[in-house]
């Protein structure tokens, strides 16, 4: 018994480490720490910074020291006497770039890459807000679907039991009995499908946050949901100025333009200041005996590109096409965004109206359920009719919750276009959810 209790404690501890009850804010906060996509984008942001440092470093002097020590063994010498000897050399070389026309274009490109990376990181954090809500809402809806499927399964099971009794009494045919059995089998399958979809949705949370959810909250249908209004044209004009994908597309234009200018500039000469110091020490035994030499040079190096087999011209053409594609992508992105805003605003307006309709349907179902339940105590309604009224009540409640959650998710996406999306938005939603 003692060992069994220990096993239970260990099992519970193991499960509690991988499964947890979470509200919407828990999911979002955990995604900030453990979401792999955010980690990748954060690392790319650091890479952009290092690439800028690499570009900046090309304007600084290149300094290197070369040293060697050689022992020479003479096996045969004709015409003069020479003995074994050693030679030691050392040289210090400095190259200071003076004129690199493409450097400034490369630096502009690196700066644009950092700005794009910063915008991408900010946009990803906003996307985590929306994705957290989307995944959490999905689990709420699927969990509610499981609950209504269980009620349906219970109703079909009761009807099948009654059908067996009626068939035994000869009051229904075997075909009617088979229909009830099929309805029960279908209800069982639908319940399994609903449970599988819920399990799959929880796996999406695991991928998103690195941890599975054991229990979640549900929407409180009694609270008042704030309803917002958006104007399509003004929202589009705002998105053109502030939306992260638009900004990144603009930076892509800057990056490809700088790349094109840089490739063009590489046709121009480069000028370097070069300096060197050389030291040579040869031990006795050489042709001229022992000697030590020190020398230094200082000069200017001019490099004029003349022919590279068409490589640089091809790079210019390639970057020009990339620049044109970046402009085309920016234009297409604006078109798609305008369509998306129009669609989401229309959907937003329809969902506001649909919430009112679903709320009326839910209230009617609730009143009908209370009436049937009271009639059951008076012997007017059967237990199956009570269960059917309960099924319609739960179903109408689920539809109201799903419509409301769809509205709130659409509202979050529109807020991203208006640059109003922040943590406060999901904090407000979190307050509408209950255990």
Instruction: pLDDT tens for the chain, 435 residues: list them.
Output: 445 455 444 444 444 444 578 999 999 999 999 999 999 999 999 999 999 999 999 999 999 999 998 887 777 666 666 667 788 999 999 999 999 999 999 999 999 999 999 999 999 999 999 999 999 999 999 999 999 999 999 999 999 999 999 999 999 999 999 999 999 999 999 999 999 999 999 999 999 999 988 899 999 999 889 899 999 999 999 999 999 999 999 999 999 999 999 999 999 999 999 999 999 888 765 555 578 889 999 999 999 988 888 899 999 999 999 999 999 999 999 999 999 999 999 999 999 999 999 999 999 999 999 999 999 999 899 999 999 999 999 999 999 999 999 999 999 999 999 989 999 999 999 999 998
Among the three residues 304, 326, 352, which one is the final residue of a domain in this structure? Answer: 304
In a domain, 383, yes or no: yes
398 and 428 fall within a common domain: yes
In a domain, 154, yes or no: no
Give the residue among 38, 115, 134, 37 at the shortest CA–CA distance from 416: 134
276 and 328 fall within a common domain: no
276 and 399 fall within a common domain: no
How many other CB atoms are there within 10 angstroms of residue 124's CB atom? 18
CATH number for the domain that contains residue 298? 2.20.200
Cα–Cα distance for residue pair 253/112, rounded to 1 Å: 9
116 and 258 fall within a common domain: yes
Q: Rounded to two decimals, what is the model's pTM?
A: 0.85
280 and 376 fall within a common domain: no
Three-state DSSP at 90 gives: strand
Exposed/middle/buried for residue 35 (C-beta within 10 Å: 0-12, 13-18, 19+): buried
113 and 38 fall within a common domain: yes
Among the three residues 304, 323, 354, which one is the final residue of a domain in this structure? Answer: 304
222 and 312 fall within a common domain: yes
DSSP code per residue over 167-225: HHTTSS-HHHHHHHHHHHHHHHHHHHHHHHHHHHHHHHHHHHHSSEEEE--EE-TTSPP
385 and 288 fall within a common domain: no
Q: List the domain range (segments joined by +) for residue 232.
A: 2-59+101-131+202-268+308-434
374 and 429 fall within a common domain: yes
Contact at 8 Å (CB) between 432 and 411? no
List pLDDT tens digits, range 402-424: 999 999 999 999 999 998 999 99
Query: What is the dihedral angle through the alpha carbons of 41, 43, 44, 48, rounded to the nearest 10 degrees?
Result: 140
CATH number for the domain that contains residue 396? 1.20.1600.10
In a domain, 193, yes or no: no
pLDDT at site 9: 47
In a domain, 143, yes or no: no
In a domain, 258, yes or no: yes
b/e code 179-196 from CB counts within 10 Å (16+ = b) = ebeebbeebeebbeebbe
Contact at 8 Å (CB) between 274 and 297? yes
List pLDDT tens digits, range 249-273: 999 999 999 999 999 999 999 999 9
In a domain, 293, yes or no: yes
252 and 126 fall within a common domain: yes
Q: How many residues does the chain have?
A: 435
List pLDDT tens digits, range 323-336: 999 999 999 999 99
Among the three residues 255, 279, 304, which one is the final residue of a domain in this structure? Answer: 304
pLDDT at site 20: 72
Angle at which helices 36-57 and 101-168 pack, to 10 degrees? 170
In a domain, 157, yes or no: no
DSSP-assigned letter for residue 70: E
377 and 257 fall within a common domain: yes
Spatial CB neighbours of 194, under 8 Å, sequence gap ≥ 6: 142, 145, 146, 149
Cα–Cα distance for residue pair 265/267, rounded to 1 Å: 5
226 and 326 fall within a common domain: yes
Number of domains in the chain: 2
- For 344, list phi and psi in degrees, rounded to 5: -70, -35
In a domain, 107, yes or no: yes
Spatial CB neighbours of 28, under 8 Å, sequence gap ≥ 6: 128, 129, 132, 423, 426
């Amino acid at each position: 018994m003692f060992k069994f209790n220990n096993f239970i404690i260990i099992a519970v501890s193991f499960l509690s480490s991988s499964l947890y009850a979470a509200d919407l804010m828990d999911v979002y906060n955990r995604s900030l720490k453990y979401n792999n996509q955010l980690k990748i984008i954060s690392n790319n942001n650091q890479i952009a910074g290092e690439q800028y440092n690499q570009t900046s470093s090309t304007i600084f002097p290149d300094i290197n020291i070369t040293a060697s020590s050689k022992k020479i063994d003479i096996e045969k010498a004709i015409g003069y006497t020479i003995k074994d000897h050693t030679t030691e050399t050392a040289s210090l070389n400095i190259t200071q770039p003076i004129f690199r026309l493409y450097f400034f274009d490369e630096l502009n490109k690196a700066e644009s890459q950092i700005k794009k990376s910063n915008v991408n990181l900010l946009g990803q954090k906003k996307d985590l807000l929306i994705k957290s809500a989307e995944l959490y809402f999905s689990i709420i809806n699927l969990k509610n679907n499981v609950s209504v499927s269980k009620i349906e399964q219970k109703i079909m099971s009761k009807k099948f039991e009654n059908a067996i009794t009626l068939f035994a009494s000869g009051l229904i045919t075997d075909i009617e009995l088979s229909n009830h059995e099929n309805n029960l089998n279908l209800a069982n399958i639908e319940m399994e499908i609903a449970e599988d979809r819920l399990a799959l949705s929880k796996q999406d949370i695991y991928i998103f946050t690195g941890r599975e959810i054991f229990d979640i909250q549900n929407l409180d249908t009694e609270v008042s949901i704030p309803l917002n209004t958006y104007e399509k044209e003004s929202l589009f004009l705002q998105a053109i100025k502030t939306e992260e994908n638009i900004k990144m597309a603009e930076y892509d234009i800057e990056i490809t333009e700088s790349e094109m200018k840089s490739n063009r500039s590489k046709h121009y000469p480069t000028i370097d200041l070069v300096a060197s110091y050389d030291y040579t020490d040869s031990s006795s035994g050489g042709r001229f005996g022992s000697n030590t030499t020190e020398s230094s040079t200082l000069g200017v190096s001019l490099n004029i590109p003349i022919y590279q087999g068409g490589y640089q011209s091809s790079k210019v053409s390639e970057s020009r096409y990339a620049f044109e594609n970046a402009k085309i992508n920016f234009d297409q992105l604006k078109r798609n965004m305008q369509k998306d805003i129009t669609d989401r605003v229309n959907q937003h307006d329809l969902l506001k109206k649909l919430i009112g309709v679903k709320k009326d349907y839910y209230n009617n179902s609730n009143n009908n359920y209370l009436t049937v339940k009271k009639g059951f105590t008076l012997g007017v309604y059967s237990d199956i009719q009570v269960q059917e009224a309960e099924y319609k009540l739960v179903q109408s409640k689920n539809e109201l919750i799903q419509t409301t959650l769809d509205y709130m998710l659409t509202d979050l996406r529109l807020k991203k276009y208006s640059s109003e999306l922040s943590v406060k938005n999901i904090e407000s939603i979190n307050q509408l959810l209950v255990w």
